[in-house]
Chain A
């Protein structure tokens, strides 16, 4: 067995020409200066293609008649690590449970997606959306109506049994 050893031969300082290095550097920067291909994304006009697993603003799924799919089981406020979901459940005269109050504080939320993972009826989802600027802080507490109004696509969470998303 033989061993290879790399011997780095650094240039002697006296043999280095600053002038040539400077000129070649200026040629390089000039080529980049006139190069029309730029890497900057012109954000408001050009939108980023979000990943299907992007976890952003929540969406509440609805039935066809406009009722929320939520059955107020209380799993999502229980599992939520940031404690950002407030749920007050109710029951109608046929015994169906429904949320009276369902609020998500988007400031407290850490967008882990566990609420979507734990939901037994696939009602609450995190979504592929991130532009939610507001003028006041209290506008960031999304109530049930607001969550149902969100029209962006919801997130496809990573499935351990289907790791490549097929």
Chain B
């Protein structure tokens, strides 16, 4: 049976359906991430968390939404009105549109043709994500500036400095992925991971670590919570915002979290790919193929609806895993000092990223020169090289020169020194008299 991509009027129908469904799902996931954050943080602190609205508190996000819509909007008298209103929009928009280029499942066969489970398979792929996720910081800076509030302004400044610092490390860790995949579209990156026989988290382990750290900084989550920094800046850039405008900032923060999690899952954990080659599917020379062998013969893929469902479940589990890690780390680690954030970004992440790009580039070059076939052996060599680099990186971090000041209690020793009798440190009453 020959599979063709969906075309004609049905392509438009499928596209509208995909946009509606994926946008709705993302919004709902964002809403429930707020609930998950509150529940998980409560569990970590031996509490129950919100469990009153609906079964297990599952209707809590709806109650929150209704409350935020009904609350009074405040507009500071000295705020710059246009930009103050514009900022939440500028923050919200990029966090939601970035999901458009992330493939969520294996292609779905329909009577009218095969539908790709991605909203827009644009050729620039990952660059689109980078461009839009960087745009969000404009909203943060604008919101901080337009509030005409010192704390909000400081929050905005910190957001921009942090974004500039960690965008570099993020980009460098991405370069290794792009070098290995040879393409910037996310569908192709997933396909290359399927062909390699292993997810990029193994052959590019150090890039994975750098990407996770940078993604935490990019999404302004603890321990990189500089722009909000409740204890220092009230709530930073959204100090002056209330009701739904404040909610827009929150939704965008969680939206960024969901997008970053999905991106980490796609780039390093194979996206919707499940172990084994039974679910692989990729458009190759106009055919939907499962694998391309070394001699150029292709194995045709056989997409079914249950494969789409299973791969979507795999994608959801991977994304959910990163979301839980996000929340888990937030409620474990305290916020870095501002200079620590900067020194970690510029003195550790940037040189490590640069060196790692050189290392991976050289390894790929050598492997290609000796004619190693793209497959498991190729990945194994890269895994070994990256494992060594990761070990070195962790060894360097473990020496504790990166972030100082975290005093470990176990290292505190108490020494009791005995002053012999007869040696009186202070004059006695008789001596004074």
Q: How far is the CA of A37 from the CA of B46 in the complex (A)?
A: 7
B408 A30 Cβ-Cβ under 8 A: no
A32 B404 Cβ-Cβ under 8 A: no
* Min distance, Cβ A44 to any Cβ of chain B, angstroms: 9
A contact residues around B48 at 8 Å (CB): 38, 40, 42
Size of the chain A interface, CB-CB below 8 angstroms = 35
* Min distance, Cβ A104 to any Cβ of chain B, angstroms: 33
A50 within 8 A of B: no
Asked if A11 meets B408 with Cβ closer than 8 Å, knowing A18-B400, A22-B332, the reply is yes
B418 within 8 A of A: yes
A contact residues around B333 at 8 Å (CB): 22, 25-26
- Report the nearest B residue to A16, measured CB to CB: B400
Interface string of B419-433 (1 = CB under 8 A from A): 111000100000000
Asked if A20 meets B412 with Cβ closer than 8 Å, knowing A4-B418, A5-B419, A26-B332, the reply is no
Q: How far is the CA of A119 from the CA of B404 in the complex (A)?
A: 67
Q: How far is the CA of A25 from the CA of B332 in the complex (A)?
A: 6
* Min distance, Cβ B155 to any Cβ of chain A, angstroms: 25
B329 A13 Cβ-Cβ under 8 A: no
A33 within 8 A of B: yes
- Report the nearest A residue to B404, measured CB to CB: A13
A3 within 8 A of B: yes
Q: How far is the CA of A21 from the CA of B336 in the complex (A)?
A: 14
A51 within 8 A of B: no
Q: Which of B43, B44, B411 contacts A15 (CB 8 A)?
A: B411
Q: Which of A4, A8, A40 contacts B412 (CB 8 A)?
A: A8
Q: Which of B43, B45, B406 contacts A16 (CB 8 A)?
A: B406
B415 A9 Cβ-Cβ under 8 A: yes
Q: How far is the CA of A3 from the CA of B417 in the complex (A)?
A: 9
A contact residues around B403 at 8 Å (CB): 18
Most chain A beta-carbon neighbours within 10 Å: one of B44, B45, B48, B332: B332
Q: Which of A1, A7, A26, A39 contacts B415 (CB 8 A)?
A: A7
Interface string of B373-416 (1 = CB under 8 A from A): 00000000000000000000010011111111111100111111
Within 8 A of B (CB), among A82-141: none
A contact residues around B399 at 8 Å (CB): 14, 17
Most chain B beta-carbon neighbours within 10 Å: one of A5, A16, A39: A16
B40 within 8 A of A: yes
B contact residues around A78 at 8 Å (CB): none
B47 within 8 A of A: yes
Q: How far is the CA of A5 from the CA of B415 in the complex (A)?
A: 8
Interface of B is mostly: loop
B contact residues around A20 at 8 Å (CB): 398, 408
Most chain B beta-carbon neighbours within 10 Å: one of A4, A15, A18, A21: A18
* Min distance, Cβ A150 to any Cβ of chain B, angstroms: 29
B202 within 8 A of A: no
A contact residues around B407 at 8 Å (CB): 10-11, 13, 16
* Min distance, Cβ B43 to any Cβ of chain A, angstroms: 5
A contact residues around B411 at 8 Å (CB): 11, 15-16
B32 within 8 A of A: no
B contact residues around A11 at 8 Å (CB): 407-408, 411-412
Q: How far is the CA of A34 from the CA of B420 in the complex (A)?
A: 53
Within 8 A of A (CB), among B28-49: 40, 42-48
Asked if A14 meets B408 with Cβ closer than 8 Å, knowing A3-B425, A6-B414, A7-B417, the reply is no
B394 A2 Cβ-Cβ under 8 A: no
Q: How far is the CA of A26 from the CA of B328 in the complex (A)?
A: 7
Q: How far is the CA of A38 from the CA of B48 in the complex (A)?
A: 7
A19 within 8 A of B: yes
B contact residues around A21 at 8 Å (CB): 406, 408
Asked if A9 meets B413 with Cβ closer than 8 Å, knowing A2-B418, A29-B328, the reply is yes
B46 A39 Cβ-Cβ under 8 A: yes
Q: How far is the CA of A18 from the CA of B403 in the complex (A)?
A: 6
Q: Which of B44, B402, B415, B418 contacts A32 (CB 8 A)?
A: B44
Q: Which of A16, A33, A37 contacts B408 (CB 8 A)?
A: A16
A35 within 8 A of B: yes
B47 A40 Cβ-Cβ under 8 A: yes
* Min distance, Cβ B52 to any Cβ of chain A, angstroms: 9
Asked if A29 meets B419 with Cβ closer than 8 Å, knowing A17-B399, A38-B47, the reply is no
Q: Which of B43, B44, B46, B397 contacts A19 (CB 8 A)?
A: B397
A contact residues around B331 at 8 Å (CB): 29
Within 8 A of A (CB), among B267-322: none
Q: How far is the CA of A13 from the CA of B400 in the complex (A)?
A: 8
* Min distance, Cβ A60 to any Cβ of chain B, angstroms: 36
* Min distance, Cβ B149 to any Cβ of chain A, angstroms: 33
* Min distance, Cβ B320 to any Cβ of chain A, angstroms: 15
Q: How far is the CA of A18 from the CA of B213 in the complex (A)?
A: 14
Q: What 11 new A-B contacts, CB under 8 Å, besides A25-B333, A33-B328?
A: A3-B419, A5-B417, A7-B414, A13-B405, A17-B400, A17-B408, A18-B403, A21-B408, A32-B45, A39-B46, A39-B47
Q: 8 pairs across A/B with beta carbons < 8 Å?
A: A4-B416, A13-B404, A14-B401, A17-B398, A19-B394, A21-B408, A30-B328, A39-B47
Q: Which 7 A-B pairs have the closest CB atoms?
A: A11-B411, A13-B404, A18-B403, A17-B400, A29-B332, A33-B43, A16-B400
